Amino acid sequence: MEPAGTKDCALCGTAAPIAATRCSACGGMFGVLSLGNLRQPHGVPAGLMCTQHLESNAVATCFSCSSGVCATCDFLLPGGQHFCPACIDNAGTEEVSSKRRNLAIAAIVLAVWCTLFFPFTISGALYRALGSTTDLQSFGCFVALFLLAPSILGTVLAVSAYDKRFRNTPLIWTARIWNFLILAVLIVQVLVRTF
């Protein structure tokens, strides 16, 4: 994939890709650093200059901070995302976003609920507390509503909080592993009682 933007040939003025070493019209050679006559690519505001090299036109805007970057500073990542050197240097050092943190906290709360509620279903105390030992259907609905649904929701929230592109804190990992374990135990319990 070629970098965004073009440069003009100093001899004939024909536009050429930034990576070109020869002009396609006149055959003139471009120097190793012949980026002085850059044209703005589509989507970059006219007159935007590189934040690191104030004399160079920007060929892209940083995906993270929206600052201008020249061809020298441009970090092109998969998916066509351009980043400036400052954002690349700071990648992974930022804290977890409040949205991801709140999702992980909600997942932990649901995991605690399921963990506290689970022993009552295993021991039979909940079954006896419902009164009728013959009413298995109401017991199953009760367990599905107050144990299975929260464990599925907690697992979904924990998966939503996890992002492999960014830093994942121990809180996120705890929420993810805890909810997966609870859901796995519940699925095994359902399968054992069914068959």
**pLDDT truncated to tens, each residue of the chain (195 aa)?**
334 566 666 666 677 776 677 777 777 665 544 444 444 445 677 788 888 888 888 888 887 778 888 988 888 877 778 888 887 777 655 567 788 899 999 999 999 999 998 887 777 776 666 666 556 667 777 778 888 899 999 999 999 999 877 778 899 999 999 999 999 988 888 788 764
Is 147 in a helix, a strand, or coil?
helix
Whole-prediction pTM: 0.51
Residue 34 confidence (pLDDT) = 44
Q: What are the CA-CA distances from residue 174 to residues 51, 149, 155, 169 (Å)?
A: 40, 19, 11, 9
Which parts of the chain fold into alpha helices (H)? 85-90, 98-123, 125-129, 136-143, 149-161, 170-194
